[in-house]
Chains A and B, each alone.
Chain A
């Protein structure tokens, strides 16, 4: 009976499963297979090289290391500023008044734009000769701070990170507002009766209660900053001199600029492992923060 019942349900799975197998599962397995070869993506033959690609990446690939470090810099910057800003703004905008709903919708707005559009807007802001930022700095007598924001190799990755914060803070704010609104009012009443100051209210009521939302925000921000391919590709293509290269853009250029399909596949498998480790860690954190409740 059970099996027969399941049998008719298998038909429901079929169309999606066929597509998913052809265009997702098989390519993912193939990526792992390619990673053990020296295939260049063009010629019909290639050699199986075992773990050579992986060994090379780990021991001998300074650009991969640089992209990884950039990824970490980018992630930490975005993680700190995006989380802090979105939490502060969410606390300001927690009540559903007309102004607050309007501001939430305004802050959220950039999220619906394409990364390419956002990249153009910020290239305009950062433009070294006519850019908005340098013009504004000039007009408020801070001309000495003027910069080639995307051309300066030490600064470029952070300039891109600022763009990412602008792009997604509004989205994270919404998650925090939902979390804050779910906190029972009587908890604050109890805190007030105990004579809690503002900071105590935050420290002992708000923070423990929004820990789950905070975990979601931070986890999502982390993953998002590892996957910020579109934005960085459209803004800088990873340049100048690899200073904004992150793993996602590096894998693309290894594959489609240098045509090292085998090597790029090995890079992508390592990339996948990094993302998987982060995802597992975030689930652990999430569970831990739920237990505390």
Chain B
């Protein structure tokens, strides 16, 4: 049994590690070298592919676009959703329930349903090929899950804290800032990471709204490398590595929070 366990665990570890190492090695190879030696160590660790991808492609632009879209989307989703979660938990009676349902029902609507009208709306607003359009849509579609996670957390804050603050004459805004937010930091952190991963990796909305290189985010740019580089795996994987680097680095340092965050979305959503 023990041997069986070790074999199974190592096998699965290899199934994860080998492709990842192959990706890293391939970025240092030429196409002919990949053909000759698919999994092996590269002849030398030269950065030709990294140089040429930045020369051939506006990689820095794509990278910046991804950073801008992700940062703004996450920040504003968290801000708006935490305000709403606070209001819902503080509202009396059925009004809070109605708003809670209105927002969380959104989690049941798959992206493919509103994508066609959204495409039209973004076009009509003149927001096609703009990062602003992408950010506004991102905020709107991820608010439901963020509200769901955060309001669950805020409900567990003892009511007496708010009552005491109220007697001292605190306004709702002050209670939101001084009580609700500081006490919800764990759920805000988990939700932020969940959203970071989601927005950084998103393909559908850039695919719908962006056609100009100037405004492409990394996943969309990568997707189009497929057409350009076909089976030129060294170039494709160099792109993959650059696109994944920020998430991988963050994961190395914030592992526990990543695991909690990404799983919070799953369990609660």
Q: Identify the A interface with B (CB < 8 A).
A: 2, 5-6, 8-10, 12-13, 15-17, 19-20, 22-24, 26-28, 30-31, 34, 41, 85, 88-89, 92-93, 103-117, 120-122, 124-125, 127, 130-132, 135, 166, 169-172, 174-175, 178, 216, 220, 226-227, 229-230, 233-234, 247-248, 251-252, 255-256, 261, 264-265, 268-269, 271-272, 275-276, 279
Contacts and interface: CB of A to CB of B under 8 A. Distances in A.
Given A31-B116, A109-B16, A276-B108, A16 B263 contact: no
Given A89-B9, A112-B244, A112-B248, 12 more contacts: A20-B106, A20-B140, A34-B116, A104-B259, A113-B244, A114-B203, A121-B20, A124-B22, A132-B18, A175-B267, A230-B202, A268-B116
A216 B267 contact: yes
Nearest to A135: B38
A113 B176 contact: no
A117 B106 CA distance: 28
Given A110-B16, A132-B22, A279 B140 contact: no
A217 B240 CA distance: 29
Contacts of A178: 263
Given A105-B255, A120-B222, A16 B84 contact: yes
30 contacts: A8-B172, A9-B87, A13-B87, A19-B139, A22-B121, A24-B144, A30-B114, A31-B114, A31-B116, A106-B16, A107-B12, A108-B258, A109-B20, A111-B262, A112-B197, A112-B244, A113-B201, A114-B218, A114-B219, A116-B219, A116-B223, A120-B236, A120-B240, A121-B237, A132-B18, A174-B259, A230-B203, A233-B223, A252-B112, A272-B110
Contacts of A121: 19-20, 23, 237, 240
B247 interface: yes
Interface stretch (B43-51, B55-63, B88-96, B184-192): B88-96
A19 B108 CA distance: 18
Contacts of B80: 15-16, 19
Residue from A15, A108, A113, A275 with most neighbouring chain B CB atoms (10 Å)? A113
Contacts of A6: 91-92, 95
Residue from A26, A27, A174, A261 with most neighbouring chain B CB atoms (10 Å)? A27
B67 interface: no
Contacts of B112: 229, 247-248, 251-252, 268, 271
B13 interface: yes
A276 B109 CA distance: 8
* A interface: dominant SS: helix
Given A248-B110, A264-B116, A269-B113, A135 B39 contact: yes
Contacts of A252: 112, 115
Interface residues of B, number: 88
Given A89-B12, A106-B16, A229-B204, A261 B116 contact: yes
- For the complex of A and B, list the 5 residue pairs with the smallest distance between their C-beta atoms, beginning with the closest: A114-B201, A23-B140, A16-B80, A30-B117, A27-B117
Given A23-B140, A166-B15, A105 B114 contact: no
Residue from B110, B237, B240 with most neighbouring chain A CB atoms (10 Å)? B110
Contacts of A13: 83-84, 87, 99
